[in-house]
Amino acid sequence: MNRKIFACIISFLLLIALTIPAVAVEEIETEPEVILFAAPNDGEVILEAPESEAIDEEIPVNEFIPENEFVTEYEFVPDYDVRFYDGIEPEGEYENYTAPVKETKAFSIVRLIVALIIGFLIAFIIMKIVAAPLKSVKSKSDANEYETNKIELTYQNDRFLYRNTQRTPIPKQAPPQKK
Amino acid sequence: MAELLEYKCPCCGGAVEFDSTTQKMKCPYCDAEFDVDALTANGEEKQDCAEWNADTVSMSDEEAGGMRIYKCQSCGGEVVGDEATGAAECPYCGNPVVMQGQFAGELKPDVIIPFKLDKNAAKEALKKHISTKKLIPKIFKDENHIDEIKGIYVPYWLFDCTAEGEAVFKGEKVRTWSDRDFNYKETSVYRIERNGRLSFAALPVDGSSKMADDLMESIEPFDISQGVDFNTAYLSGYLADKYDVSSDESINRANERIKSSLNSALYSTVSGYSSVDTQNIYMELRDAGCRYALYPVWILNTSWNGNKYTFAMNGQTGKIVGDLPMDKSAFGKWVGILTAAAGVGVYLIMTALNLL
């Protein structure tokens, strides 16, 4: 009886695992991929495309922007390699940067196993809580029910001993990697 | 052969018992009711006329093995008990009997709480105890029948004292802040001293080696304010044991519980710290005293699947305890169902977050 139930459960899980992620991937891929990044205004940016879609075009840098500011926007086409003409990457942090969307796996057996293990732990804890009232014989560790008055303090003292300070460096945010 | 005491009905001569409902002595044959004190006076008169019956069965101490043999005054049958047996029932005529001398002199209890609940209340309590719990095997519920039910006066030592304690705690105050480059955590450590006193009254410790200590502690508390002066008439119709664990042997258990409560009470006076740990506690008892008491307990035994299950009910408050068997197949089935449900949920969450 239990084997049949477990077989049904596993089949159900596999079915869900195979169908739902594929739908999720489709939805993600329909999003427009626009990347905004900055380039120094004293350099030139060239878009290099595969041979089949080669774009032999030099995109001029905005001439009205003062030196050492990074403000130029380009629409990014996937699979195009963006390089700086002089080979020197700009310093400083990028702003208005949107990371490329990660590719979602349609099905992961590792994910399924981990989900089942976590699910089992949750289920076991819940059932242990449900089964706890079956054990009602327990020793008493205190005598609180037999106190005749509240605690009457006769002396109290709080004495400072020492102080300890820990200093932890704040991790810096790394600049985003370019394709 | 030691002597037995029976309480006879002045009307019909039947053996009378203590009735928990009316709190009087009642004759089960003619339904006559008597006050405990009145019947005790009558019983004492009979006791003066009773003759000491010589033990005709010679048995060595080793053969006896701690057994004691009594002779029923109603039918002459032999009632066998052990050194601690204080009240029982004649196996031949069923009359309730009280072993004289077991509760006399120094062995006389200081206080007794008479039974407030009868056998039917105990049965109902057990039924409710079983029916309200989940994961009990259905067969156990359906086929469960009580093998044995008995009302027992269990000997207890009651400890009264004022406990004075000196506790030392280690407290920590934590302060955190950040600047541009670092997170800071400052921990200030304090030595916290608290002295105080706390009084306890009638802390019970089981004085019977036959009764499991955890079972007896589980049916606490008893309300000592309903206790009365001991009278053997209260034992009629019930089983009773005299103590076989001395007060000296019980002191350690009482001290453990008192110290734990004292520590909790002193701990509760400490505030304003992120964390507090007990470093040391010293306890000294003042005005410590000990009383001997008999408390009413219903013991119910049942068996299932080759295992014996014992339940205990507080004969004063009705609190019932006892471990119950678990339906392992139902447990496994529910774990499976919940695993599937939780697994789907976790899987969907992991997919949405694109983990693994």
Q: For helices B328-352 and A2-29, give the axis angle rounded to 10 degrees.
A: 10
ipTM over 0.85? The verdict is no
State which H helix or E strand residue B193 sits in: strand B182-206
Q: Which residues pair with A34 in a beta bridge?
A: none
The CB density around residue B117, as the number of other CB atoms within 10 Å, is 20
Model pLDDT, residue A61:
45
* Residues shown for chain A: 179
The residue with tokens 């139930």 is A5
Record: contact A9-B195, CB cut-off 8 A: no
Query: Among B85, B98, B34, which residue's Cα sits nearest to residue B237?
Result: B98
Distances (CA, A) of A15 to A22, A112, B54, B345: 12, 11, 86, 14
Record: contact B196-A150, CB cut-off 8 A: no
d(CA B328, CA B319): 27
- Dihedral sign, Cα of residue B34, residue B36, residue B38, residue B40: positive
What are the φ and ψ backbone dihedral angles of A110, each rounded to 5 degrees?
-65, -45
| Chain A residues touching residue B338 (CB < 8 angstroms) | 119, 122-123, 126-127
The residue with tokens 């057994």 is B67
A67 in B contact zone (CB under 8 Å): no
| Chain B residues touching residue A138 (CB < 8 angstroms) | 214, 217-218
Find which of B134, B161, B285, B339 to mutate to test the A interface (most A CBs within 10 Å of its CB): B339
- Could you check whether the bond before residue B221 is cis, i.e. omega within 30 degrees of 0? yes
Closest-approach residue (CA) in chain A for B265: A151
Instruction: Sheet containing B17-19: give its strands across.
Output: B17-19, B24-26, B33-34
A97 three-state secondary structure: coil
Contacts of A39 (CB under 8 A, 6+ apart): A45, A61, A70, A72, A84, A90
Given a contact cutoff of 8 angstroms between Cβ atoms, the answer to whether B98 and B6 are in contact is yes
Model pLDDT, residue A105:
62
Record: contact A111-B181, CB cut-off 8 A: no
| Chain A residues touching residue B258 (CB < 8 angstroms) | 143
Which of B260, B265, B356 has its CB closest to that of A141? Answer: B260
CA distance B174 to chain A (A): 10
A104 in B contact zone (CB under 8 Å): yes
Record: contact A156-B269, CB cut-off 8 A: yes
Helices (H) and strands (E) in chain A, counts: 2, 4
Given a contact cutoff of 8 angstroms between Cβ atoms, the answer to whether B346 and A120 are in contact is no
| Chain A residues touching residue B186 (CB < 8 angstroms) | 163-166
pLDDT at A81 over 70: no
Model pLDDT, residue B140:
81
Record: contact A151-B269, CB cut-off 8 A: yes
| Chain B residues touching residue A122 (CB < 8 angstroms) | 338-339, 342, 346
Record: contact A2-B332, CB cut-off 8 A: yes
Beta strands B111-112 and B275-304, pairing class: parallel
Model pLDDT, residue B193:
96
| Chain B residues touching residue A14 (CB < 8 angstroms) | none
- pLDDT grade for A27, boundaries at 50, 70 and 90: very low
What are the φ and ψ backbone dihedral angles of B181, each rounded to 5 degrees?
-110, -20
Measured at the CA of A97, the angle between CA A93 and CA A103, to 5 degrees, comes to 125
Q: Mean pLDDT for chain A?
A: 65
Query: Among A66, A105, A134, A126, which residue's Cα sits nearest to residue B134?
Result: A134
| Chain A residues touching residue B222 (CB < 8 angstroms) | none
Given a contact cutoff of 8 angstroms between Cβ atoms, the answer to whether B109 and B294 are in contact is yes
Query: Among B128, B304, B172, B224, which residue's Cα sits nearest to residue A146?
Result: B224
Record: contact A151-B190, CB cut-off 8 A: no
pTM of the model: 0.67
- pLDDT grade for A75, boundaries at 50, 70 and 90: very low
Record: contact B266-A122, CB cut-off 8 A: no
The mean per-residue pLDDT over the stretch A128-141 comes to 90
Record: contact A148-B201, CB cut-off 8 A: yes
The residue with tokens 């119950």 is B324
Given a contact cutoff of 8 angstroms between Cβ atoms, the answer to whether A124 and B147 are in contact is no
Given a contact cutoff of 8 angstroms between Cβ atoms, the answer to whether A112 and B346 are in contact is no
Closest-approach residue (CA) in chain B for A162: B189
Model pLDDT, residue A89:
53
Given a contact cutoff of 8 angstroms between Cβ atoms, the answer to whether B166 and B269 are in contact is no
pLDDT per residue rounded down to tens, chain B (356 residues): 556 677 777 777 777 788 888 888 888 778 778 787 776 655 444 443 334 343 434 445 555 556 777 777 777 777 777 777 777 777 777 777 777 777 777 788 899 999 999 889 998 888 888 888 888 888 887 766 788 888 999 999 999 999 999 999 999 999 999 998 899 999 999 999 999 999 999 999 999 988 899 999 999 999 999 999 988 888 888 888 888 898 899 999 999 999 999 999 999 999 999 999 999 999 999 888 999 999 999 999 888 888 888 999 999 999 999 999 888 889 999 999 999 999 999 988 988 887 76
Record: contact A120-B185, CB cut-off 8 A: no
Contacts of B272 (CB under 8 A, 6+ apart): B173
d(CA B348, CA B335): 20
The residue with tokens 């405990």 is B36
Query: Among B9, B8, B26, which residue's Cα sits nearest to residue B17?
Result: B26
Strands (E), A32-129: 45-48, 58-59, 81-84
Rg of chain A, C-alpha, whole Å: 32
A103 in B contact zone (CB under 8 Å): no
Model pLDDT, residue B82:
74
Query: Among B200, B196, B166, which residue's Cα sits nearest to residue B287?
Result: B200
Record: contact B346-A118, CB cut-off 8 A: yes
d(CA B191, CA B180): 34
Record: contact B182-A168, CB cut-off 8 A: yes
Q: Which residues pair with B81 in a beta bridge?
A: B68
Query: Which of the two residues, A117 and A28, has the higher pLDDT score?
Result: A117
Model pLDDT, residue B219:
93
CA distance A130 to chain B (A): 7
Record: contact A123-B342, CB cut-off 8 A: yes
d(CA B351, CA B356): 8
The pLDDT tens digits for B268-289 are 999 999 999 999 999 999 888 9
CA distance A2 to chain B (A): 7
Query: Among B296, B149, B159, which residue's Cα sits nearest to residue B230?
Result: B296
Model pLDDT, residue A148:
92
Record: contact B197-A118, CB cut-off 8 A: no
Q: Mean pLDDT for chain B?
A: 84
Q: Which residues pair with B33 in a beta bridge?
A: B26
d(CA B160, CA B204): 9
B138 three-state secondary structure: helix
| Chain A residues touching residue B352 (CB < 8 angstroms) | 24
